[in-house]
Structure 1
Amino acid sequence: MKVLAAVEVDDALLHAWPLPTPQADGDKEDRGRVVVVAGSREMPGAAVLAATAAMRAGAGKLVIATPQSAAQSVAACVPEARVIALPEASDGGPSFHGLPLLQALGASTSALLIGPGMIGRESTLTFVQGLLPVFKQATVLLDAIAMDAVMTARRLAQPVILTPHAGEMAHLTGGEKDDLREEPLHAASRHAERWQVVLALKGATTIVARPDGEAWLHACHTPGLGMSGSGDVLAGVIAGLAARGASPEQAAVWGVALHARAGDVLAARYGTLGYLARELPAEIPALMHALA
C-alpha cells in the first residue's frame, strides 16, 4: 500500500511559496480576468460573495454571469463587475441558450469559477458541460452543484480545482461522510488522481491534493467559518488567486490558508461565532500583505 503524507501549511510554507507579484507599472490586464458563473433567484448573494472575494484576492477584471432573475441585484451589489444576465431554465438553473453570451470571453479569461448558489442540477450540468470547452485556456474551479460534472465528464482539457466538503465528497464518490472525515488524505489523494484535478477536501482539517499524490494539510480551529456563504468566499479567493497567475495547487493552498486566517481575525474582533461571510473578503488583502 502506498504511504501517503501531506505537507503542513503554516506561515513558513506560505512565506517560502510567494504568490505572483504584480509589476509596479502593471495594470488590471496583468492580474487576469476572472469569470464567476454563480447565483440563482433563490441565492443571488452567493455570486456577490464569490465575486467580491475574487477581487479582494487580487484579480484584475471581473465578469459575473448569473440568471436573469438575479442579475439586477447582483450588479447593484458589485459595481466593479460586468454582469451578464443568463436566460433561465424551468428548474432555475442557467439555460443552455445562454452559452453564446460567454463565448467571446473564453480566450481572454484566466480563471473561471462555476457553481456557488446555483440550482437546477440538470440544467446546470448541461450548461457546465457546454461551457468548459469554451474556456480551455482558463483554470476552472468547480464548486457546489457544478462539481457533479466530474461524475460524468471525461478528463477535462484545462486545469481544474474542486472544493467539496465531506458531504459533497460523499455524494460525488458514493462513500460515507464519516469515513471521509476519518481518512481525508486518502480520499482526497485517491480522487484527485482519479479525476485528474486539484482537490481541496474541506473541513477542520483541509487536504489539498494534486493528481500526482503531492498533498498539503491545513488545520483550522475556527468554528465560526462553518456558516452560510463561507464556502462561496473560499471559492472566490481561490479563483482570484488563480486569475493572478497562481498554479491550481498554490491557489488552493493559499486560498484555504487566507480564508482560515480571515476567520481568525474576525473571531478575535467579534467572538467565536456570529461574524458573517460577507465580512471575510475585506480581511484578505492585509493578510496577503502580511504573508508576502
Structure 2
Amino acid sequence: MSGATPLDAAWLRRHPLPQPGNDADKNSRGAVLVAGGCREVPGAVLLAGTAALRAGAGRLQLASAASVAVPLALAVPEARVIGLPETEEGAVAAAAAEVLARRGGAADALLLGPGMMGGEPISALLASLLPRLDGPALVLDGAALESLSRQQQAVRRHAGRVVITPHEGEMARLLETGRDTVRADPLGAAREASGRLQAVTVMKGGCTHIVTPEGQAWRHDAGNAGLAMSGSGDVLAGVIAGLLARGAPPLQAALWGVFLHSEAGRILLERQGGIGFLARDLPAEIPRVLASMAG
C-alpha cells in the first residue's frame, strides 16, 4: 500500500467545507454535544466545546460530572450544560449512558472522552452507550479510546460516521501493543486501527497521520512544539466535532481539523514565541484561519 499524501491548503481549498447561507440560523449550523471531564479535569470539556463553536457549530451542549456542571455553565455561557451521574471519585459514571444516548441522538455530532477518567467507569459507559446510540457523527478521544479494543463491534456499528483521535500511548492500548511498535510505524498503526474500527483515524504526533477505513492516508507535519501541551488535543477533537456538526463528512472534518489546529498553533508561534502559549489560546485563531482559507 502506498504512503501518505501530504496535506496542504491547496488540497483543502479543492474540498471546501459546507457553508451556511446568510439566512442560516443556529440549528442549520449543527448541534454538538461534548461529553467528558471529571471533578479533577473539567476544563477539557470547556476547551473542546469552545473549539467546536469556533469551528462554526451553531449549538453546544456540554455534559460532565454533576459536581462541575454549574462552574462549566458559568464559564461557557453559550452552552447548555448537563450534569451527569458520577462516581465517588468524581468520574462520569456508567449510568450516564442513558442520558447521553438520548441527548446524543438529538445532536449532529457527539464528542466523547476529553478529560474523562480511565478505568472501569468509562469502559462500562461505552459498553452501554455505543450499542444504543443512533444518529450523530462521533469523535472518540482521550479515555474513550482506552477500551475500544473490547468495543470494536459496537464502534463498527457506527461505520461511516466515526473519527478517533489517539496519541501514541492511546493507540498502543487500542491495538494492545507497545508504544515502541506504534512509534516505529505510526502510519501502519493508524491503518490497522481504522480497518478494525471502520473509523477515520487521526494519529496525533509531530507528524500527524489521517487514515480512512480503506487505508487512504494523508500526513501533516507542519506542527510545532508549542502544540505539545495539556489541552491541545481537546481543542483538536472539538474542532473536528464542530466541523462534523456543520455537515462535513468524517474524512473532510478530520483533515480540515488537523490543518486548522496546526495553523492556529503557527499563528501563536509567530505572535508569542515557540512555546508557552496555552491551549485556551488556540480556539480564537480558528475563525481567522477559516476566513483566510475562504479568500
- What is aligned with 1:246? 248
| Partner of residue 184 from structure 2, selected from 182, 204, 207 | 182
Deviation, 1:183, is: 1.6
Q: Which amino acid aligns with 1:211?
A: P
Q: Alignment partner of 1:200: what SS?
A: strand
Deviation, 1:134, is: 4.2
Q: Which amino acid aligns with 2:186?
A: P
Q: How does 1:61-76 map to 2 (within 5 A)?
A: 61-76=59-74
Q: Alignment partner of 2:262: what SS?
A: helix
- What is aligned with 1:256? 258
TM-score, normalised relative to structure 2: 0.94
Mean CA deviation greater in 98-107 or 49-58: 98-107
| Partner of residue 219 from structure 2, selected from 217, 220, 225 | 217
- 2:259 and 2:180 map into 1 onto residues whose CA distance is 24
Q: Alignment partner of 1:26: what SS?
A: coil
**C-alpha offsets along residues 212-240 of structure 1, whole Å, 9 cap, x if unaligned?**
11111111241000001101101100100
**C-alpha offsets along residues 157-204 of structure 1, whole Å, 9 cap, x if unaligned?**
222111011121112212232332232221111221112111110001
- 1:155 and 1:69 map into 2 onto residues whose CA distance is 30
Deviation, 1:28, is: 0.8
- 1:108 and 1:130 map into 2 onto residues whose CA distance is 18
Q: Alignment partner of 1:83: what SS?
A: strand
- What is aligned with 1:271? 273
1:4·1:186 contact (CA, 8 Å) conserved in 2? Answer: no
Deviation, 1:132, is: 2.5
1:91·1:120 contact (CA, 8 Å) conserved in 2? Answer: no
Deviation, 1:66, is: 0.4
CA RMSD of aligned residues (A): 1.4
Q: Alignment partner of 1:140: what SS?
A: strand
1:95·1:127 contact (CA, 8 Å) conserved in 2? Answer: yes
Runs of 4+ displaced beyond 4 Å: none
Identity %: 47
Q: How does 1:133-148 map to 2 (within 5 A)?
A: 133-148=131-146
1:92·1:120 contact (CA, 8 Å) conserved in 2? Answer: no
Q: Alignment partner of 1:290: what SS?
A: helix
- 1:226 and 1:175 map into 2 onto residues whose CA distance is 23
Deviation, 1:48, is: 0.5
Q: Alignment partner of 1:27: what SS?
A: coil
1:118·1:145 contact (CA, 8 Å) conserved in 2? Answer: yes
Q: Which amino acid aligns with 1:14?
A: L
Q: Which amino acid aligns with 2:193?
A: H
- 1:6 and 1:120 map into 2 onto residues whose CA distance is 32
- What is aligned with 2:12? 14
Q: Alignment partner of 1:31: what SS?
A: coil
How many residues in Structure 1 have an aligned counterpart in Structure 2? 290
1:143·1:235 contact (CA, 8 Å) conserved in 2? Answer: yes
Which structure 1 residue ranges, 5 or more long, are not aligned?
A: none
Which structure 2 residue ranges, 5 or more long, are not aligned?
A: none
Q: Alignment partner of 1:227: what SS?
A: coil
Q: Judging changes above 3 Å, is the alpha-carbon distance between structure 1 residues 231 and 106 closer, same or farther for their aligned structure 2 residues?
A: closer
Deviation, 1:103, is: 4.2
Deviation, 1:44, is: 0.7
- What is aligned with 1:165? 167
Deviation, 1:149, is: 3.7
- 1:107 and 1:172 map into 2 onto residues whose CA distance is 26
Q: Which amino acid aligns with 2:177?
A: G
Is 1:41 the equivalent of 2:35? Answer: no
- What is aligned with 2:58? 60
- 2:80 and 2:132 map into 1 onto residues whose CA distance is 19
